[in-house]
Structure formats: C-alpha cells, structure tokens
Amino acid sequence: MTDRYLSVDQVAELLGTTARFPRRLIEERRIRYVKVGRHVRIPESAVEEFVQSRTVEPLRRPRTGFRRAA
C-alpha cells in the first residue's frame, strides 16, 4: 500500500484548480476515490490516471518541401 491518499484541497492544488473541480469529478464519478468515514480521499495514482487519460498529444504533420508564401 504505497499509494498516497490526497484530500480534495491537495488534489485541487496539484491540478492548479479550485476545490470545486475535484469535488465535481467525485460527484460525477469521473475519478476513483475512497470514503474514510465522512472524509473523501483520492489516491495519487487516480489523479495520475485522470491526467494521463485526458492528455492530448500534438499532431505530427509530415514535412513537405513547399511552404506557402505569406
């Protein structure tokens, strides 16, 4: 059990958002979480999975020898 469990405020700080965003993710069940009594904790791996699944890679266009004139 090496996974750290983060509070909503810690996840918000990690993501650079307000606490409202992780709470909405929890409410919509878009992220894994654990209930400890009345407290909600989010595994650090769940945050990493969430970010990884929503990461958009840049398009790789093939280079051509011709460029458009301005």
The mean pLDDT value for 25-39 works out to 96
The tens digit of pLDDT for each residue in 38-47 reads 999 999 999 9
> pTM for the complete prediction?
0.78
CA gap 24, 28 in Å, rounded: 6
Q: Note whether residue 60 is domain-resident.
A: no
Whether residue 58 is contained in a domain is answered as: no
Task: Give, to the nearest 10 degrees, the angle between helix 8-15 and helix 44-53.
Answer: 40
67 inside domain: no
Number of domain units in the chain = 1
- Does the pLDDT at position 20 exceed 80? yes
Residue 32 domain-assigned (yes or no) = yes
Q: Does some domain include residue 59? A: no
Q: Taking all residues of the chain, what is their mean pLDDT, rounded to a whole number?
A: 91
Q: What is the pLDDT of residue 60?
A: 85
Look up the domain containing 22 and give its range.
5-53
Tell me, yes or no, whether 31 lies in a domain. Answer: yes
Does residue 16 lie within any of the structural domains? yes
